[in-house]
Amino acid sequence: MAQKPVIVLVRPQLGENIGKAARAMLNFGLTEMRLVAPRDGWPNPSAGPAAAGANVVLDTAQVFDSLAEAVSDCANVYATTVRKRGVTKPVVTPEQAASEVHVAPGRSAYVFGPERSGLETEDVALARAILTVPINPEFGSLNLAQAVILCAYEWSKQIGLSQPTAEDLLPPAPQDELEGLIGHFERMLDAKNYFWPEPRAEANRLTLRNLLTKPAWNHLEVRTLRGILSTLERDRRER
C-alpha cells in the first residue's frame, strides 16, 4: 500500500484553523501534519478544541523553519493554490493528484499556504506540481480546512475507506395494520365532521387513504401513529 501523504501547513495564522485542518485530515485517514513557522508558535491552545478529538494529528505534528526542510524527504510535492503564481508547472486536480500519490514511489506532500494570502511564488517553486480545483472565477476563497478536506477526501477514495453502515430498514407494514391506522383516523375525523359536506366525503376519504399508504410505513411507525391517535382520543374523552 502506498504511503500516506503528509499535510504541510505553511505559516498558518490561527490555532483554530490548524485544529480544523487536523479534524479534516483524520476523517479521511491522514495523520501526519507538518507546520512551517506557525505565526503563534506551537503548540497552540486554540488548536485542540477546534480539532474535535483529532488529537493524534496535533500531538504528532512537526514544526519546521522552512518549507524546504518540511518536504526534504518527499519526492512528490503538490502546492495548492487557486491563483496564478507565474510558475510553469504541471497543474492537477485533487483527484489526479490522489491517483498519482497512490502509485508514486517515495513520500508525497500536499502543501497549503497561510489563510490570508495562500502560498507565495517561492513556496510554489519548491513543488513538483500545482494542485488546484475548478472554482468560481469571481470568488476563489476556500478556507484552510476546506482545502485540506478536498485533498484528503480524494486521497481516501483511492484506498477504499469503508462506508458507514446504513441503518437496516424495516419492511413496510402489512396491509391489515395500515387498514387499522386508516380506520382509526377516519373514526376520529368523523367525530370532528372532517368529511363534511357529504358530496366530498368519498373523495376526502380516498385522499386520506392515499396519503397514509404512500410513505410505506413500517409496523413501528404505524404503531407510533396509532399511539398518538389513541392519546388524542383519550385526552378528548377525559375533558
Q: Is residue 203 part of a domain?
A: yes
Give the per-residue pLDDT at 212.
87
107 has pLDDT over 90: yes
Q: Are residues 114 and 74 in the same domain?
A: yes
Question: pLDDT > 70: what percent of the chain?
Answer: 92
Q: Are residues 226 and 114 in the same domain?
A: no
84 has pLDDT over 70: no
137 has pLDDT over 90: no
In which domain, by residue range, is 45 found? 6-159
Of 47-56, 127-136, 193-202, highest mean pLDDT: 47-56
Q: Are residues 228 and 152 in the same domain?
A: no
Q: Is residue 100 part of a domain?
A: yes
C-alpha cell at 232: 388524542
CB neighbours of 158 closer than 8 A, spacing ≥ 6? 2, 98, 99, 101, 102
Higher pLDDT, 2 or 9: 9
Q: Is residue 110 part of a domain?
A: yes
C-alpha cell at 41: 508558535
Closest CA to 115 of 6, 5, 15: 15
- The dihedrals phi and psi of 81, each to the nearest 5 degrees, come to -165, 150
CA gyration radius for the chain? 29
Reported as a single tens digit per residue, the pLDDT across 44-69 is 999 999 999 999 999 999 999 999 99
Q: Are residues 77 and 47 in the same domain?
A: yes
Q: Are residues 117 and 185 in the same domain?
A: no
Give the per-residue pLDDT at 43.
95
Q: Are residues 122 and 227 in the same domain?
A: no
Reported as a single tens digit per residue, the pLDDT across 17-50 is 999 999 999 999 999 999 999 999 999 999 999 9
